[in-house]
Amino acid sequence: MTTTTETQEKLQPPTEPREWSLKQIEAVLSRPIPNAMLKTKEIKGNKITYLPWYEANQILSKYCPGWTFELTQFEIGRDRVFVVGRLTIPTSEGNVYREASGTESLDCNSYGDPSSNAESMAFRRCCARFGLGLYLYDK
């Protein structure tokens, strides 16, 4: 009998854009992410597990050839940066996109700068809308 893990390991990623349907892409992106790709950080005393943007980038490149990400809105408020990003994935049904927002305080004390942190947040949220790491948001 073949286990789910064995089946997942034998899965051959697409080699060209539009090889897979949206259903196939969402199914593979919704799988649990290897722990080695996840990081943790502490926010207001709570430990948060997350997928760094560069790991999400690698997963998309493997299973979603031809994907693109762009910022469709960028605003600087009095004390925050706000962005909206669009992740587009070519599928056998055509291009499918998901949009999400990201924000960061202008006086952020975390690694990186406010604009790249907001962009990273928007990108990871777009990925989650296709299923990638979505379970990490379930509290």
Neighbours of 93 (CB within 10 A): 11
Question: For the chain, how many structural domains are there in total?
Answer: 1
3-class secondary structure, 110: coil
Neighbours of 30 (CB within 10 A): 14
- First CA to last CA distance, the chain: 34
* The pLDDT value given to residue 68: 98
Q: In the numeric block, which tokens belong to residue 13?
A: 């990623």
Comparison of pLDDT for 44 and 29, the residue scoring more: 29
User: By residue range, what is the domain housing residue 77?
Assistant: 18-137
pLDDT bin (cut points 50, 70, 90) of residue 5 is: very low
* The pLDDT value given to residue 139: 67
* The pLDDT value given to residue 43: 82
Would residue 96 count as lying in a domain?
yes
- Cα separation of 105 and 78, whole Å? 9
Q: Over range 121-135, report the average pLDDT.
A: 98
Comparison of pLDDT for 136 and 10, the residue scoring more: 136
- Cα separation of 16 and 125, whole Å? 25
Would residue 2 count as lying in a domain?
no
**% of the chain residues with pLDDT over 90:** 83
- Find the angle CA(71)-CA(30)-CA(134) to the nearest 5 degrees: 55
CATH number, residue 78: 3.30.390.80
* The pLDDT value given to residue 9: 56
* The pLDDT value given to residue 111: 74
Res 112 pLDDT > 90:
no
